[in-house]
Amino acid sequence: MESSATFQIRVEDASPFACPADSNVLFALERAGRKEIPIGCRRGGCGVCRVKILNGEVVRAKMSRAKVSAADELENYALACCIYPRSDLRVKLAPLGENAQEIRRQEQPARNCQNSETCGGVQKKFARSKG
């Protein structure tokens, strides 16, 4: 397969977005300006971007077994930051453990670099006082 291949990714019933074969699904989603999947550490450790692959083929990068067990993988669960498409995909958000649920509620990607601070690979949004 050529690394220049691009596939269509659909999260639940939202319109699809393009994802190159050499990009993980979460990065392509961010690059497309989409917000269907929450963003956490971007490295397979926090579990915030946990999805279930409904159809399609992927290559999986290393991800936390605390967030996606071997049994989970057999049932097509994965972290969007750790999957690379090999065909068009359809995914849906998957249930999380308690830690990841708390992160999903608190962490939102900062969209404006002037009003954000990066901490541990996760951008946190802060309000700035005028004056």
> What token pair was written down for 111?
């969209």
Alpha-carbon gap, residue 115 to 127, rounded angstroms: 7
pLDDT of residue 103: 53
Residue 112 structural domain: 6-125
If one counts the domains in the chain, the total is 1
> What token pair was written down for 113?
């670099």
Q: What is the pLDDT along the chain (131 residues), one digit of tens a residue?
A: 556 899 999 999 999 999 999 999 999 999 999 999 999 999 999 999 999 999 999 999 999 999 999 999 999 999 999 999 999 999 999 987 655 555 555 554 444 333 333 333 444 333 333 33
The values of phi and psi at residue 83, to 5°, are -120, 140
Q: Indicate whether 85 belongs to any domain.
A: yes
Between the alpha carbon of residue 107 and those of residues 16, 79, 96, the distances in Å are 24, 16, 15
Q: Indicate whether 48 belongs to any domain.
A: yes
Percent composition of the chain: helix, strand, coil (DSSP 3-state, to 5):
20, 30, 50
Task: Report the predicted TM-score, pTM, of the whole model to 2 decimal places.
Answer: 0.73
CATH number, residue 84: 3.10.20.30
pLDDT of residue 88: 98
